[in-house]
Amino acid sequence: MATASPAALNAGYEYAELDLDLIDEPAVPERQTMDEAELAELALSIQEVGLIKPLVVKPTAERYEVIAGHRRLLACRIVKLSPVPCRIRRGDAASNLSILVHENAHTEAVNPVEEAMFYQRVLEEQCDNDVDLLCIRVRRRREFVEDRLLLLMGYPQVRDALFNRRISIAVARELNKVPDPNRLLILLDSSITMGATARQVMEWRKQYQDAPPIELPPDAAEAPDGSAPSPVATSGPCCIVCQDTFEPSSMAIVYIHKLCSRQLDRMLNRAQDETAGS
């Protein structure tokens, strides 16, 4: 596929710093809703370091309309940053819409785990483990930085699932609050296979907060080298009927009264004894 030269591509733009009052929101925005917390974070970033990525605008009579950078425009208004750096597009409507779609389609959010690892490295290498200094260096609120660093202190399985984008950061936060590492594996698997929301995981966690911990199978009480095994590393969801951990994704969460559960255990034990004696 033939592509235009950089000179030809850049010829359609001219750079200028425009007064914020002269710039209008897009007539047909692609984003109908915006996360208020993320918009506030962007505004704080712009207030701290300025607008790093210019807006792309087009002339409309004596004013300008945003083609790409709707969120950045709103954030600039919040902190009253003016004038703002802009690239003025001289072209037809079709090319303007193409710019809007391509910018939004190819804007990839930073992976939270990679961001956490970056903060941890800066914390150790440049900030002498001083979190307040880290926040100053990266120009982020302490709550945000601590939220990312806590990901590295949570369950490794949760961190891996978040890194591979199998769960959201909100779900990861809730899963890391589960005190029982064996139950955590069940809820993590359910979160991935069912596409659970953070609210749903929170309800699961509260439902089991008074339940006894899930015990390891007897043959897993001791590692081959005689040391105590790590429950998270060696156990997983166990079927209440066959006691097998095979294919946890094919299992389901079962709601059962404690009394009924004890009766079921007795029935299964009798059945096993009868099978062994025959």
**Domains of the chain: residue spans and CATH:** 11-105 (3.90.1530.30), 112-207 (1.10.10.2830), 234-277 (no CATH)
| Strand pairing report for 23-24 and 13-18 | unpaired
Angstrom distances, CA of residue 107 to CA of 31, 68, 100, 102, 110: 13, 12, 11, 8, 9
| Cβ atoms of 39 and 74 closer than 8 Å | yes
| CB count in 10 Å sphere of residue 216 | 15
Calpha distance 221→228 (Å, rounded): 7
| Cβ atoms of 151 and 168 closer than 8 Å | no
pLDDT tens, N- to C-terminus, the chain (278 residues): 455 566 666 667 888 899 999 999 987 776 666 778 788 888 888 888 889 889 999 888 889 999 888 889 999 999 999 999 999 887 654 466 666 666 655 566 778 898 899 888 888 888 888 888 888 887 788 888 899 999 999 999 999 999 999 999 999 999 999 988 888 888 999 999 988 899 999 999 888 888 888 775 555 444 444 443 444 433 445 666 666 655 554 555 555 666 777 777 777 777 777 777 76
Q: What are the beta bridge partners of residue 13?
A: 89
Angstrom distances, CA of residue 189 to CA of 127, 154, 236, 250: 37, 16, 10, 10
Calpha distance 237→228 (Å, rounded): 19
Q: Tell me, letter by letter, the H, E, C secondary structure of 66-132.
A: EEECHHHHHHHHHHCCCCEEEEEECCCHHHHHHHHHHHHHCCCCCCHHHHHHHHHHHHHHHCCCCHH
Predicted TM-score (pTM) of the model is: 0.53
Radius of gyration of the chain (CA): 27
